[in-house]
Amino acid sequence: MTLYLYRTPYLVDIVREKVGKVLNLNSIDAGNAWKGMDMLIFNSWHWWVHTGQSQGWDYIRDGATLYKNMDRLYAFKKGLTTWGRWVDQNIDPSKTKVFFQGISPTHYQGKDWNQPKKSCSGEAVPLSGSTYPAGAPPAAAVVNQVLSSIKKPVYLLDITTLSQLRKDAHPSTYSDASGTDCSHWCLPGLPDTWNQLLYAALIM
């Protein structure tokens, strides 16, 4: 068995043009590397919201138009729709099983769990119950909408709500590093649960 990690945070292409690095919402040439696999596991969103020096592009292209910026949720939907078309045009379900891992949430805003003065820093216990006070992030609705439009079967690994309840699982509580990291996860930890869900889906 061979396992490949192909890093393309936006799924669609970043191309070099005269103006600089351009995120092309309609291009997915990177998909050529995914053809012929027995199983594909995709995810995206985390990098779409980055700005400043951590932003991976200089401009966004949508068709013939270049934008210096646009609403990130709208851009995510456009890019994910391009990926969905790639799945329909290139995947043979008898040979390749496709998964999409749902939105991995952040915990920077304590108001999302009714503690407005807090973030994940110092949190040591998960939220109780099975619902998150702020509800699902808007990006999760985009994922559901795009997946429902894809004709080929794509299995959603829905890790969002269970991850929202784990405000205690970020590195900030346990790390000596400066700054607050409420978007990445400790290992071992919550991502091991994601792997259990993937394993359960594989043996169904």
The reported pLDDT for the residue numbered 35 is 95
25-40 pLDDT tens trace: 999 999 999 999 999 9
Separation between Cα atoms, residue 199 and residue 204, nearest integer Å: 9
The reported pLDDT for the residue numbered 177 is 66
Whose tokens are 């592009």? That residue is 57
Tell me what the mean pLDDT of segment 124-130 comes to: 95
Separation between Cα atoms, residue 29 and residue 32, nearest integer Å: 6
The reported pLDDT for the residue numbered 179 is 76
The answer, yes or no, to whether residue 176 has pLDDT greater than 80, is no
Helix 72-90 vs helix 138-149: angle between axes, to the nearest 10 degrees? 30
1-27 pLDDT tens trace: 899 999 999 999 999 999 999 999 999
Contact indicator for 28, 13 with CB cutoff of 8 Å: yes
The answer, yes or no, to whether residue 48 has pLDDT greater than 90, is yes
pLDDT band at 80 (very low <50, low <70, confident <90, very high): very high
